[in-house]
Structure 1
Amino acid sequence: MKLSRRGLLKEGGVFLLGATAAGLSFSRSGELMSAVAANQETMEVPWPYKKLNPEVVAEKAYHGYYKGACCYGVFDSIVGELRREIGAPYTTIPTSMMIFGEGGVAGIASVCGALNGAAAAIFLITGSMEKEKRELAFSITKELFNWYEQVPLPDYRPSKPKFEIVKSISRSNLCHASVSNWCKVAKVKAFSKERSERCGWLTGSVAKYTVELLNANAEGNFKAIHKLSKEVQSCRSCHDKGGAIENTRGMMDCGGCHFRAPSKHPKI
């Protein structure tokens, strides 16, 4: 909804009175009013992009992890650099909102927070309500998620690590499966300082690869190189759209949580 200048001032006046009654200072209320007046129009995605240094972003993401966890670390490292390089509209985003994604969303351990923050940044920069641009953003996101499942990670080592971290293949984009698989390889507990450091390295790794993908897209040469495995495609031939069972919409590695060949297939 668009407001005329008179309407904006009227609505703002009501807000100002309410804010004052609620105990906000006039100076703070004035700041908020100025922000409202300056941002009558919402800038739709995609937002402008300038190629970033993946190593710089990765290091910032690692430190961001210890400030606001994985989701925040990735999102803030990318948006923060774009804020520095471009300025507005990136100056309008409160990146601290991405703290919600910590530990797979509020510690629930669902989708990996680093991937969550990366997907948000990817869509902000490449996505749109338009189907063609939306599909581009989805393609970049799928490449990132497949990479995360298939590649030994973390593959970024911060400049001053707290511990040396071993790599593992998650076979899942879910926080709990990724953490459990790594803990099994590293022989440490899920709530240890070593595991936390691993997720810091992983946050840097995800931010780094995300920027590499965004840079490639900016150059016009993005190409997905991590495809669903033949095993997963075989599962989907029965369980996905048009299959004999058609009881899932999954586009991730099934073996991270479910049946894994060459084990005996469950009875149908």
Structure 2
Amino acid sequence: MKEEIGFPYILLPDDMFHHAAGGYGGEGTLCGSIGSCAAIINLVAYDDKKTHSKLVADLIHWYSQENFPSKRYDDLAANKDQIQKIPNSPLCHASVSTWMMAAGASYTEKQRKDRCAKVAGDTAYRTVEMLNEHLVGKYAFIGAKRSEETESCLSCHGSDAMYNEKGLNDCLTCHDDHTK
């Protein structure tokens, strides 16, 4: 984008999103690839209709349901044909832990690093697809929805009750179903 468009992209340093590694500062929060791509979406698609927010919500929904890592980058990686796992969460910790348990890998292993690099590539690739479709008027918004289980959780935790939760994520990825 620096070469094709120039300003404002020439002002962005190449290592601008390095802090996002490991779920931001190594804390395992939001996957850094989502946060970094969300910032780019905001730069490209910000408008009064909140198109940028809708695109980011769709990216998060896509990420949570994607079978990672794809095979797209196997020719570049030391670990090819890795086990794939749907994270069911945009959180780095949940995404990586779910995959590591399925793969029998530890956090410090090269195969985990390859997996995360591939996930970052997959997320950037999807972001470019979304933005390209949006810019030519062909993007169809997904409009992320809550699962039935999460809707059930929100009957107590949502805006009509305690109002201590508002997200679209699947609650049961991290929390037990305390209604049973």
2: CA distance, partners of 1:233 / 1:215: 33
Offset at 1:232? 2.4
Q: Which residue of 2 aligns with 1:265?
A: 179
Whether 1:239 and 2:157 are equivalent positions in the alignment is yes
Task: Calculate the TM-score normalised by the size of structure 1.
Answer: 0.62
Residue 136 of structure 1 corresponds to 51
CA distance, structure 1, for counterparts of residue 15 and residue 76 of structure 2: 24
> How much does 1:115 deviate?
0.5
**Paired residue type of 2:179:** H
Residues 205-244 of structure 1 mapped to structure 2, 5 A cutoff: 205-225=122-142, 227-228=144-145, 229-242=147-160, 244=161
Aligned match of 1:181: 98
**Residues 97 and 160 (structure 1), Cα distance of their counterparts in 2 relative to 1, 3 Å cut:** closer
* Backbone CA RMSD of aligned residues: 1.7
Alpha-carbon contact 2:70-2:119 (below 8 Å) kept: yes
- 1:116 Cα deviation from its structure 2 partner: 0.8
Checking the alignment, whether the CA contact within 8 Å between 2:69 and 2:118 is kept in structure 1 is yes
TM-score between the two structures when normalised by the length of structure 2? 0.90
Q: 2:79 aligns with which of 163, 169, 172?
A: 163
1:109-130 deviation digits (Å, cap 9, x = unpaired): 11100101010000011114x3
The one of 18, 32, 46 equivalent to 1:127 is 46
Cα distance in 1 for residues equivalent to 2:14 and 2:109: 27
Indicate the structure (1 or 2) with the bigger Cα radius of gyration.
Answer: 1
Structure 2 residue 121 is the aligned partner of structure 1 residue 204: yes
Q: Which runs of 4+ in 1 moved over 3 A?
A: none
Task: Tell me the secondary structure at the aligned position of residue 44 of structure 2.
Answer: helix
Q: Secondary structure at 2:29's aligned position in 1?
A: coil
Work out whether residues 54 and 143 of structure 2, in 8 Å CA contact, stay in contact via their aligned partners in 1.
Answer: no
Gaps of 5+ in 1: 1-81
Does residue 116 in structure 1 map to residue 62 in structure 2?
no
The gaps in structure 2 that reach 5 residues or longer are none
User: Equivalent residue for 2:62?
Assistant: 147
* CA distance, structure 2, for counterparts of residue 249 and residue 175 of structure 1: 20
SS at match of 1:208: helix
Q: 2-side partners of 1:201 and 1:259: how far apart?
A: 30
Amino acid at match of 2:135: A
Q: How does 1:45-56 map to 2 (within 5 A)?
A: none
Secondary structure at the aligned position of 2:179 is classed as coil
Length, aligned pairs only: 177
Once the two structures are aligned, what percentage of the paired residues are identical?
34
